[in-house]
């Protein structure tokens, strides 16, 4: 159930005012209310953070901001679910009396058809709209997924002409790059895909170790959970840090990557592959030497997570050194 539906139904039981009050209190609590706990958990952003928002976005005075999630077979669940939850948890009681004003983001899924789409792990999702009839979005989210069609790429290109943000999550950056929109721009992706992305899209400035990257109305995040941080960053750009911090608080999300685009620095340097603990040279995945496909090049044996990555390496082994 979407949080909007939950709030609307809860109103009948007198809970709406309580939820609104709680969210307002979270947004306005001062820094003293959020001191680090004895376990040294991260200190969340609070109303003490009054610095101007960099690269701000202008929300509509009233009504919702449509957010389209582009999906197909193999969509990675957290890449969609993380940002989806962020956008649906934003609540600003002072913005108006209606749910469309107080809960400003309207999320929906878009696919080539309304045939159920199988996500990672087997979950099936019935898309809300097709590429042909989807409402015009102001935010587009591109999760990692198995592949992209020409129709999908064309739709993303067309939608991006009028979006405030078109954002990729994880290896959704490959799809965004295939549109050509990232040509000459900066972007990031999952750390295990750095090599592959850099070779496939040499005209894109790959930012290793970035939690997220912004380039005009384009944005990209690192892997998986990084999409939560990029979504919170989009909320901050629209409504300010206090609203984004309140959203993270309500989600019980303690990560602060959304406040620091460079917070994935630990992934700049890939883990070393050794004989005892080999990694696939294409994607960096840890593999079992006893069962993994292998190739020899320049007197060294390489182990792969799949036959597909072995074939990709064998086609041009010098590129993977």
Domain layout of the chain by residue ranges:
3-31+46-53+61-266, 271-320
Helix (H, G, I), strand (E, B) or coil at 110: strand
Structure tokens at 312: 């990709």
- Residue-level length of the chain: 321
Comparing 8-12, 23-27, 121-125, the range with the smallest average pLDDT is 23-27
Structure tokens at 129: 């709209």
Ordered alpha helix ranges (H), 218-304: 226-239, 241-250
Residues 208 and 270: beta-carbon distance below 8 Å: no
Comparing 1-15, 76-90, 280-294, the range with the smallest average pLDDT is 1-15
**67 to 18, 44, 254: CA distances (angstroms):** 27, 26, 24
3-11 helix and 77-89 helix, angle to the nearest 10 degrees = 40
pLDDT digits (tens, 9 = 90+) for 196-251: 999 999 999 999 999 999 999 999 999 999 999 999 999 999 999 999 999 999 99
Structural fold of domain 3-31+46-53+61-266: Rossmann fold (3.40.50)
271-320 belongs to which CATH class?
Answer: mainly beta
Structure tokens at 79: 């890449």
**Cβ neighbours, 10 Å, residue 19:** 18
The continuous run of DSSP H or E covering 75 comes out as none
Residues 175 and 168: beta-carbon distance below 8 Å: yes
Q: Is the pLDDT of residue 2 over 70?
A: no
Say how far apart CA 83 and CA 250 lie, in whole Å: 14
- Structure confidence at residue 129 (pLDDT): 98
N-to-C CA span, the chain: 48
Please provide residue 78's backbone torsions phi and psi, each rounded to the nearest 5 degrees.
-70, -30
Please provide residue 300's backbone torsions phi and psi, each rounded to the nearest 5 degrees.
-120, 145
**Cβ neighbours, 10 Å, residue 215:** 16
- Structure confidence at residue 54 (pLDDT): 92
Average pLDDT over residues 47-57: 77
Q: Give the mean pLDDT of the chain.
A: 88
- Structure confidence at residue 271 (pLDDT): 87
This model's pTM is above 0.95: no
Q: Is the pLDDT of residue 151 over 80?
A: yes
Structure tokens at 257: 């990557």
Average pLDDT over residues 96-118: 95
Confidence at 50, pLDDT banded by 50, 70, 90: low
Q: Is the pLDDT of residue 260 over 50?
A: yes
- Structure confidence at residue 77 (pLDDT): 98
The continuous run of DSSP H or E covering 274 comes out as none
> Which candidate, 152, 194, 154, places its Cα nearest to that of 173?
194
pLDDT digits (tens, 9 = 90+) for 170-185: 999 999 999 999 999 9
Q: Is the pLDDT of residue 255 over 90?
A: yes
Please provide residue 297's backbone torsions phi and psi, each rounded to the nearest 5 degrees.
-150, 125
Say how far apart CA 170 and CA 82 lie, in whole Å: 12
Q: What percent of the chain has pLDDT over 70?
A: 84
Those residues whose C-beta lies under 8 Å from the C-beta of residue 159, and which sit 6 or more positions away, are 68, 136, 137, 140, 166
pLDDT digits (tens, 9 = 90+) for 274-298: 988 999 999 888 999 999 999 999 9
Q: Is the pLDDT of residue 18 over 60?
A: no
Structure tokens at 131: 């590429």
The continuous run of DSSP H or E covering 275 comes out as none
In DSSP terms, 292 is beta-bridged to none
Average pLDDT over residues 39-56: 62
- Structure confidence at residue 6 (pLDDT): 56
In DSSP terms, 187 is beta-bridged to 206
Say how far apart CA 12 and CA 10 lie, in whole Å: 5
């Amino acid at each position: 159930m979407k949080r909007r539906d939950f709030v609307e139904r809860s109103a009948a039981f007198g809970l709406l005012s309580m939820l609104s009050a709680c969210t307002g209190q979270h947004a306005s609590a001062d820094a003293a209310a959020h001191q680090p706990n004895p376990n040294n958990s991260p200190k969340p952003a609070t109303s003490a953070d009054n610095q101007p928002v960099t690269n701000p976005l202008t929300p509509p005075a009233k009504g919702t901001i449509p957010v389209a999630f582009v999906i197909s077979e193999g969509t990675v669940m957290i890449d969609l679910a993380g940002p989806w939850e962020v956008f649906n948890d934003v609540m600003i009681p002072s913005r108006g009396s209606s749910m469309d004003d107080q809960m400003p983001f309207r999320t929906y899924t878009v696919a080539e058809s309304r045939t159920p789409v199988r996500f990672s792990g087997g979950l099936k999702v019935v898309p809300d709209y097709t590429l042909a009839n989807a409402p015009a979005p102001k935010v587009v989210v591109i999760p990692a997924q198995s592949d992209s069609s020409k129709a999908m790429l064309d739709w993303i290109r067309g939608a991006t002409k009028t979006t405030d943000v078109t954002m990729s999550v994880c290896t959704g950056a490959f799809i965004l790059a295939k549109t050509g929109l990232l040509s000459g721009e900066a972007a990031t992706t999952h750390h295990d895909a750095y090599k592959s992305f850099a070779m496939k899209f040499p005209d894109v400035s790959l930012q290793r170790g970035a939690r997220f990257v912004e380039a005009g109305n384009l944005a990209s995040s690192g892997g998986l959970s990084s999409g939560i941080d990029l979504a919170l960053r989009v909320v901050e750009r629209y409504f300010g840090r206090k609203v984004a911090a309140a959203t993270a608080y309500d989600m019980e999300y303690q990560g602060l990557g959304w406040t620091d685009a460079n917070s994935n620095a630990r992934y700049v340097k890939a883990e070393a592959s050794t004989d005892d603990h080999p990694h696939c040279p294409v994607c960096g995945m840890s593999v079992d030497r006893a069962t993994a496909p292998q190739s020899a090049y320049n007197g060294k044996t390489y182990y792969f997570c799949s036959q597909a990555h072995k074939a990709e390496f064998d086609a041009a082994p010098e590129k993977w050194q």
